[in-house]
Chain A
Amino acid sequence: MMKKKIGRTGSALLMVVLTTLTVALSGCSSDKAGDSAKVETGAETGTDTVTSTETAASTETTDDLSKLTVGIPQDIDGLDPHNSTGAGTREVFYNIFEGLVKADSDGNLNPAVASEYTISEDSKVYTFTLRDGIKFHDGSDVTVEDIKYSLERNMGVDGSEPLIKAYGKIDSVNVLDDSHVEVVLKDADSDFLTQLTVAIIPAANEHPETTPIGTGPYKYVSNSPQENFVVTRFDDYWGEKAYIKDVVFKIEANMDAIVLDLEGGSIDMMARVTPTQVAQLSDKFEVYEGTMNLVQALYLNNAVKPFDDVKVRQALCYAVNPQEIMDFVSEGAGTEVGSAMFPAFSKYYMPELNDTYNTDVDKAKALLAEAGYPNGFEFTITVPSNYGQHVDTAQVISEELKAIGVTANIQEIEWNSWVSDVYSGREYEATVVGIDASTLSASALLSRYVSDNGKNFVNFNSADFDAAYANASAATDDAEKTKYYKECETILSQEAASVYIQDLPEFVVLNKKFTGYVFYPLYVQDIAKIRPAQ
C-alpha cells in the first residue's frame, strides 16, 4: 500500500514539474502579442483613421460613459516609472507621468513639467523653466528639487550605473533658482532634449515602487497583477484635462479571446489587433488604422558567411518583395521601408530608398553567381515564435528565395532564447523582427549600426557609416544633422545591411460609444484624448 502511494504522489508531482517545464521551454502564450521587450513593436503613427461605416445605432441607455476599459496584452512591470522598461508599461504610463518635455502626436516635443526651455549655443547646457503652479497627483507643488532628484535618479546615484545609458552624458543638474534648473552635458549633443521625457516624480515620495505619483492627466488608483491597472482623472492637471473619468487597463492574457471580450463588452478598446480579428468584429466598433512604427526586416548577420559578402545581401534584397509579404501577412496593409527608418519620422524617412532594390530575380541570380554561389546556398532564419507576423513574414521570404535557388529554413524559438542567442549572443544567420525607437530621435534607430555599438546585433561594419553617424552626432545645426542621418540611411540601403521590409500596420479597435483615438510616433496610448461619442 505504502509503495503504491509514494508512486502516486511522485507521478503527480512529476506531472506538475513537467507541465511547468513544458510551458517554460515552449514559450507560453502569455508571451504572445506585444512582449515587454523593446525591440519589436513600436508605436503608432499619424497615418490617419480608416473606419468602418455608420455610427452605433443603439447603445444601451444605462451605459456609463465615464468609464473606459482598455485591454492591454501584458502586465505592468513595476510601478516605478524609472525602473519599468516594458514597452507595454510605457504606453500606459504616458497617461500618468510626464517629463520636462512630452511628445505629441506629430512627433514634436512640447514643454510639459517645464513651461519653456533654452538650449545653449554649443548644445551643452539645457535650461528649463518650471511650469507655474504645476502639481503632483498628491496635491503637492512640483519644485525644481523634484526635477533635479528625478534626473539624478536616472543618472545613477552613488556611483552606480545610469538607468538610461544616455544619462551618462550628463555632467550635472543644477538648480538655478526657485523656477529654473539647468542640465549640463559633458559633450555637446543637440538631440538630448529627446531624452528629457523621463518622468518627473516627487523627491518626497519614499516608495515610488508602490505609490506612483506623477503629473499627468490621470492619477494612479490601484493595480492588481495579471488583472488590471486602474487610474482616474487628475482634476488639477495643468493642461487640457481628460474627458473620461475612470480608466481601467485590463490585462488580456488570451489574445485569442479579444473579439469575444470586445463583443461581450468587457473591454471597450484594444490596440494591436490582428487583421483577422478586425474582420470578425461587428459594426459596434470603430477600427483605426496606423502603423506600428518599427522597422521590420530580414536582419542578416553580416559577420557570418555568406552574408559577409555585400553581393549576397544585395541579391537577397532583389529577391524579396515587400509588397508580396504585406499581401500575405496583413492583406496588403503596411508601409514599405528601404532602410532603418520608419515613415513616422517624416523628417528622416527617405521613401526613395524603397527603390534601391526592386524585385529582380535575374539580377539577384547574377549577383549570387558573382559572389561565388551560382547554385544558391542554404541558411536558417531564426524567428521568435510569439510574433505571428514575423513568423509569417519569414515563411513568405523562404518561398520567395526559392526562385533564386536559396533555401531558407525557418527555426522558431522562444523569446528568451531569441534575446540570448540572437540579440545578445549574435549567434544566428538571419532573423525577422521589428525594431522600434525608444526616443524621438533618429539615433534611436541608427546608432545600432555603428560598428562598435553594443546593440549592433547584425554586426554591420562600414567605415563610411561610422563617419556619417559621428558627423550627425557632432552636428549642432538641425539641417546638417538631418543631412548626415540621411546619409547613414542611404549607406545602410546601398550596403544592404539587412533586407528591409516594412513598417507593420497597426489596428486599434474602439467601441463607437467613444471616439478620439490618436496615433503617436512613439509607443503610447493617449487616453486623455478619448471622449464619449455624443
Chain B
Amino acid sequence: MKYTLKKLSSTIVTLIVVSLCVFLAFNVLPGDPAIRMLGLEASPELVAQTREKMGLNDPVLVRYFRWFVAFWQGDFGTSYTYSVPVASLILSKIPITLTLGLLAFLFTVVISIPVGIATAKYENGILDRTITVVNQVIMAIPPFFSGILITFIFGMIFKFFTPGGFVSYTDDVRGFLRYLLFPSVAIAFPKIAMTVKMLRGNLIDESGKDYARTAYSRGNNTNGVLYRHVLKNAMIPVITFLGMALADMVAGSIVIEQVFNIPGISRILLSSISNRDYPVVEAIIMGIAIIVIGTNFLVDIIYRIIDPRIDIDD
C-alpha cells in the first residue's frame, strides 16, 4: 500500500515534469503553429487574429496551466492540423501501434527464452557458437535497415506481402495482421538477440553458484536444477530488460512505421512535431510516459512473484 502510494506520487511528478519539458521545448522551437495552419501567404493580420483565437499570445505558463487542467479533465484539445479532437485522432491509431508493439514483444519472448536456455544448456556446442555469432550480427543491424531488408526479401522477391500495402484493421483484420507481421519481426530482431545473450550469460553465471552445486549434490539432474532453481534467478534481470524492451518497442515503432508506411501513432507524432501541433504531441508523449511507467510498475510486481525475497514495500 505504502509502495503503491509512493509509486503513484512519483508517477504524477514524472508526468508533470515530462509534459512541462515538452511544452517548454516547443515554446523555444522555431515555427509558429498559426502560420503552419494558415500557410505562408496568409496576411499578418489574419495570423495575428488566429494566434489570438488559439490563445498563443498568452504567457507560456498560462498556456501550460490551461492545457494541464483540461488534460486531467480528459479534454486533450483539438488538433491544429486536422481540426478534430485529439482523443479521437489518437484512439483510431492506438490499435495499430499497439498490435505492432505486442506482436514484436510476443516474438521476442517466444523466441528468445527457449533459445537462450538452449544455448546455455549446451554451452560451447555448435548451436551455441552459431547463435552467438548470429547474435552479434543481428545486434549490429538497426531496425530500419532490417526493415528495408525484410521489405526487399519478403515483399519484393517472395511477395509474401505488398510493400506499403497497409490494410486498415477496420477493413480486413487478417490482412492487417499479415502486414504487421513483418515490421514487428524487424522491431523484434535486435531485442531477441540481446535477450538471448543476456539470458545465456545469466544462466551460466547462476549455474556456477553454490546453491546450484548444492542442488546437484542433492541428486537433482541438469534439467531439474536448471528449470527449478537457476532459471528463476537468471530471469530477474531479463524481465527488467524485457520490460524496458516493451517500452522501447514504442520508440522502435517510430522508425519502423516510417519504413513500412504504417499509419500508426508514431506517424501522427512525427507529423505533429513538424506541424507544431502541440495538443497532439503532448497527448501522445503523455501516453508514452504512462506506458513506460506502467510497464515498470508491472515489472516490479512480476519480480515479487518470481523472487519472494524481494520486498518492494521497503
| Interface residues in chain A, defined as those with a beta carbon under 8 Å from any beta carbon in chain B | 1-2, 5-6, 8-10, 12-13, 15-17, 19-21, 23-25, 27-31, 36-39, 74-75, 77-80, 83, 85-86, 160-163, 165, 168, 209-210, 224-228, 250-254, 257, 260-261, 263-267, 414-417, 419-421, 423-424, 438, 454-455
Contact = CB atoms under 8 A, between A and B. Distances in A.
Contacts of A13: 14, 18, 289, 292-293
Which interface residue of B261, B269, B285, B314 has the most chain A CB atoms within 10 A?
Answer: B261
Interface string B269-288: 11101111000010001001
A265 B159 CA distance: 11
A78 B263 contact: no
Contact of B261 (A9, A12, A252, A414): A252
B260 to A, nearest CB: 8
A198 to B, nearest CB: 13
A166 to B, nearest CB: 10
Given A75-B81, A257-B259, A455-B41, A24 B26 contact: yes
B30 A227 contact: no
Going nearest first, the 3 A-B pairs with the smallest beta carbon separation are: A416-B31, A85-B39, A261-B164
A445 B83 CA distance: 30
Contacts of B268: 225-226
B18 A17 contact: yes
B89 interface: yes
Contacts of A27: 274
A227 B46 contact: no
Given A78-B83, A161-B43, A162-B46, A12 B254 contact: no
B292 A9 contact: yes
B257 to A, nearest CB: 8
Given A16-B251, A17-B21, A264-B165, A416 B263 contact: no
Contact of B49 (A25, A37, A161, A420): A161
Interface string B11-49: 000100010011001100111100111111111111011
Given A1-B314, A260-B163, A28 B30 contact: no
Given A13-B289, A30-B267, A254-B261, A160 B49 contact: yes
B22 A85 contact: no
Contact of A23 (B39, B155, B156, B270): B270
Contacts of B104: none
B35 A31 contact: no
Interface string B186-230: 000000000000000000000000000000000000000000000
A265 B43 contact: no
Contacts of B269: 20
B258 A29 contact: yes
Contacts of B25: 17, 20-21, 24
Contacts of B93: 225-226
25 contacts: A5-B300, A6-B10, A9-B293, A12-B292, A12-B296, A17-B18, A17-B25, A17-B285, A20-B25, A20-B273, A24-B29, A27-B274, A29-B270, A37-B40, A38-B40, A224-B92, A228-B263, A252-B261, A260-B155, A264-B164, A264-B165, A265-B162, A266-B165, A419-B30, A419-B35
